[in-house]
Amino acid sequence: MAADAVFTSAPPVPQPSVHENVLHYLRKLIITGELLPGAKIPVDAVAKTCSVSPVPVREALRQLQNEGVVINEPRRGYWVARHSREEFAELQHITLLLECEAIRLGAANITDSDIARMDAYRVEMEQALAAGDLWTTSVAHREMHFVPYRASGRKILVREIERLWEHTDHYRVLYLYKDTDVQEVSLDQHLGLIDACRARDAEKLIRLMTAHREFATATITPGLLEEDSP
């Protein structure tokens, strides 16, 4: 066959690796609250559920440890990371600083397609929340927020924001969406953020994002320990 032949069949769809499957499963357990902050992670039970040996489970846990999602105590095992009020507030503050910088750099670059995607993620999030699907709620929520950050074109900056989100995402879902009044405030704030993106108004978007994150911090921190336990 000629080297420049054109094939009409679609290429095979890449299949997730064992590592990716186990990593996804662990993230889902943590985000949805099946494994709460401070809970020990049962390696053997996860391995049995995923039909794998404990080796890929530990490999996935090491990745989550590098992301700050879990902690490891030698010869004792892995635990879901737990933050004190002070630690959580500091993480939120640092995240906001980077988010505002990404917004400042990217607001003018937001396209109509970006706005449509944000609104689609918002709808998906609200529908998933109403159905009690916390995993889809979390994924759609994150994707909606990251549209204006990615518009900045600063890949390193966006990766740092993603890394910081990993530290606190499980708290957001567990604490922020349990109360219907809190849900309504948060969802209304999302509409305001999308409107500010539509106007390409960086200053307004920064103000609204600041209020949004401060509201989340004020809602979540009362449920946290004043100091982290050993």
- Give yes or no: residues 58 and 115 share one domain: no
What pLDDT score was predicted for residue 5?
A: 64
User: Is the model more confident about 4 or about 58?
Assistant: 58
Q: What is the pLDDT of residue 173?
A: 74
Encode pLDDT of 161-216 as tens digits.
999 998 888 888 777 777 788 888 999 999 999 999 999 999 999 999 999 999 99
Whether residue 158 is contained in a domain is answered as yes
The predicted pLDDT at position 230 comes to: 39
Domain containing 116: what range? 85-223
Q: Is the pLDDT of residue 156 over 90?
A: yes
Burial 50-75 (b: 16+ CB within 10 A, else e): bebeeebbbebbeebbebebbbeeee
Are 81 and 69 within 8 A, CB to CB? Answer: yes
Indicate whether 58 belongs to any domain.
yes
Same domain, 73 and 133: no
Within this chain, do residues 103 and 64 fall inside the same structural domain, yes or no?
no
Whether pLDDT at 2 is above 60: no
Average pLDDT value over all residues in the chain: 90
pLDDT at residue 229 is higher than 50: no
pLDDT in tens, 110-151: 999 999 999 999 999 999 999 989 899 999 999 999 999 999
Least confident of 4-8, 15-19, 76-80, 197-201: 4-8
Question: Measured over all CA atoms, what is the biggest interatomic distance in the chain, rounded to whole angstroms?
Answer: 70
Give the CATH number for residue 115. 1.20.120.530
Q: Are residues 141 and 157 in the same domain?
A: yes
pLDDT of residue 176: 74
Q: Decide if pLDDT at 3 tops 70.
A: no
Report the number of distinct structural domains present in the chain: 2
CA-CA distance, 228 to 226, in Å (whole number)?
7
Last residue of a domain, one of 57, 80, 103: 80
Checking if the pLDDT of 23 tops 70, the result is yes
Q: Are residues 107 and 151 in the same domain?
A: yes
Instruction: Give mean pLDDT, residues 93-120.
Output: 97
Cα distance between residue 223 and residue 209, in whole Å: 22
Backbone φ and ψ for 70, nearest 5 degrees, come out as -130, 165
Q: Choose the most confident range, by mean pLDDT, from 2-11, 16-25, 167-176, 188-197.
A: 188-197
How much is the pLDDT for 222?
85
Alpha helices, DSSP H only, in the chain?
18-31, 43-50, 54-67, 85-106, 112-130, 134-150, 155-176, 180-198, 202-220
